[in-house]
A and B are shown apart, each in its own frame.
Chain A
Amino acid sequence: MFQLITTLAVALILEGLLLTFFGPDVTSVHAPYRGAAIHVGELSISVPRLAIGIAGMALVGALGMYLHRTYGGRAMRAIAQNAAGAAVVGVPIRRMSARIIGLSTGVAGLAGALTAIYLPFSPFDGFELLIVVFIVTALGGLGSLTGLVVAAMLVALVESFSQSYLPGVVYQPLVYLMLIAVLWLRPEGILGKGRA
């Protein structure tokens, strides 16, 4: 529990720092390429969005390769499955745990930077996103990268559709309904392997 509180506290401090130095307003990056689009027949695909999407998938792919093909990645997965067992086979728990935190934080930061290219942002986005991350993780399951990708696409699609067809009341009620359904029926997630 104290681990959770600690990370929450760090998140709050970071948000406070952002608030102090940048103010509470929503801002965005003004870049000349924002409006660029490729035209495929009748569709007009925004180039920045495409680039971010490709970069995101590449990031996920790279992460997957790291977790499954390298010693470091396998060590991390070992710690997640059975910390004592991992220690027994010689995995340096403390060092690896620090690397896990560093890696996940770095990837998150990179994702944030990618998003900032195109979407507006404010210091308060962190917590809003955390809830989406929670929903995606709960849906996709802990310990399964494929599950996460599938869940992320599912959530994104449901979100987009409910934004178009339901007036923006609460943050996408359908997504929340999915979350409740998953937590109730299959807490390990659709493709999950770990404990709930």
Chain B
Amino acid sequence: MLDHQPWLRYLQPVVLLIVAILVAQVVPSRYANALVLFTLYAYISICWNFVGGLAGKLSLAHGAFFGLGAYISAVLFVDLGVPLLVGGVIAAAVVAIFAWIMSAIAFRRRIGALYFALLTLAFAYVLLELVRQYEIAYKLLGVHLPLVDDPLNLIFLNKFNSFYIGMVMVAIALAVWIWVSRHRFGYMLAAIREDEEAAKALGVNVPSVLTVTMVATAAATSFAGVLAAGYLLSVEANFVMSFEWMNIVLAVTLVGGLGRMYGPVVGAAFITIIGEIVRSLPQSIAAGGISTIVYGALVLLAATLLPSGIVGIARRDRELVVR
């Protein structure tokens, strides 16, 4: 059926969205925060999965892209009254420029996986420092968005509404994944992942393809920052630009299934639950670093023992999708 009517595949994200909305009706409101986090984790991880899972490049910069999107859109909203969504587009443009510069350095010359990862880390660190310096210079009191129901600016009194918007974003991201993975572009990414030299020999313009992917996912990730800004209402550099987000993305994608369509979604559910458990631990155990340890340990376990993730196990396909 799917061969004759391939558009049916796109029903999957729609069904997921409907199911999520229905489930949210019966979920007690104390879990609303977890649900919103779930959508953020899932969405950012799907975006990252294009680079990490399909193209096989370990980018450590996407957490910073998310944070930058949140910070820029929040500042533009609070200082200049720019509607959050418009600010989000501007933030996405800024993030895209950084991603483009990073891609130009990373992809024009053969640079190796280690250097690529470290380069993205360096960029993430530079962005963190830039935002921190800005905060120290201009925003010591923090960036605070008003708590009034403001749907056009993604500020909701009812947290579930943020969840719905988040799920719409997840659904869109999944739809893009379906399209990319069945289109020539997706095959080019997979070819680059498997053997970059061979891909180049077959005519794939490796630098261009990778740059497009990096810039597009960077901009897409920054939109998650916009949702986060409207939800958190208090945006500070040490939180949104923290490497913890990258840690979470890695945990989510690896545990769920690197390179798999539903990997990030499954992984996000798992990580959100774990996160809630960790958050509910008594303060004596849960001093600042415990979440980093837990997520880091999950990344470690997934990378060493379970490379194909939960989705890989479920499909009885424990083969490595990426090497």
Where the two chains meet, the residues of A that have a C-beta atom closer than 8 Å to any C-beta of B are 1-2, 4-6, 8-13, 15-21, 23-24, 123, 127-128, 130-131, 134-135, 138, 169-171, 176, 179-180, 183-184, 187, 195-196
- The 0/1 profile, CB within 8 Å of A marked 1, for residues 286-301 of chain B is 0111111111110110
Given A5-B58, A9-B299, A130-B118, 10 extra CB contacts under 8 A:
A2-B304, A5-B299, A9-B296, A9-B300, A13-B296, A15-B289, A17-B293, A131-B118, A134-B122, A196-B111
Q: Look across to chain B and name the residue whose beta carbon is closest to the beta carbon of A195.
A: B112
**Interchain CB contact (< 8 A) of A171 among B126, B288, B299, B322:** B126
CB-CB under 8 A from B304, the residues of chain A are 2, 6
Q: Using known A-B contacts A12-B296, A170-B133, A187-B115, determine if residue A176 contacts B126 with beta carbons closer than 8 Å.
A: yes
**Interchain CB contact (< 8 A) of A19 among B243, B292, B294:** B292
- Flag if A1 contacts B130 (CB, 8 Å): no
CB-CB under 8 A from A134, the residues of chain B are 115, 118-119, 121-122
Task: Pull 17 A–B residue pairs with CB atoms less than 8 Å apart, ordered by A.
Answer: A5-B254, A9-B297, A10-B296, A12-B243, A13-B300, A16-B290, A17-B289, A18-B289, A20-B290, A20-B293, A21-B289, A128-B125, A135-B122, A169-B133, A176-B126, A179-B122, A196-B110
- Flag if B289 contacts A5 (CB, 8 Å): no
The answer to whether the Cβ of B82 comes within 8 Å of any Cβ in the partner chain is no
Q: Shortest distance in angstroms between A178's beta carbon and chain B's nearest beta carbon?
A: 12
- Flag if A1 contacts B125 (CB, 8 Å): no
- Flag if A6 contacts B303 (CB, 8 Å): yes
Q: Using known A-B contacts A170-B133, A176-B126, A184-B109, determine if residue A196 contacts B115 with beta carbons closer than 8 Å.
A: yes
* Docked complex: B91-150 residues within 8 A CB-CB of A: 105-106, 108-115, 117-119, 121-122, 125-126, 129-130, 133
CA distance A17 to B129 in the complex (A): 24
The answer to whether the Cβ of B257 comes within 8 Å of any Cβ in the partner chain is no
Which of B114, B291, B322 has the most A CB atoms < 10 Å from its CB?
B114
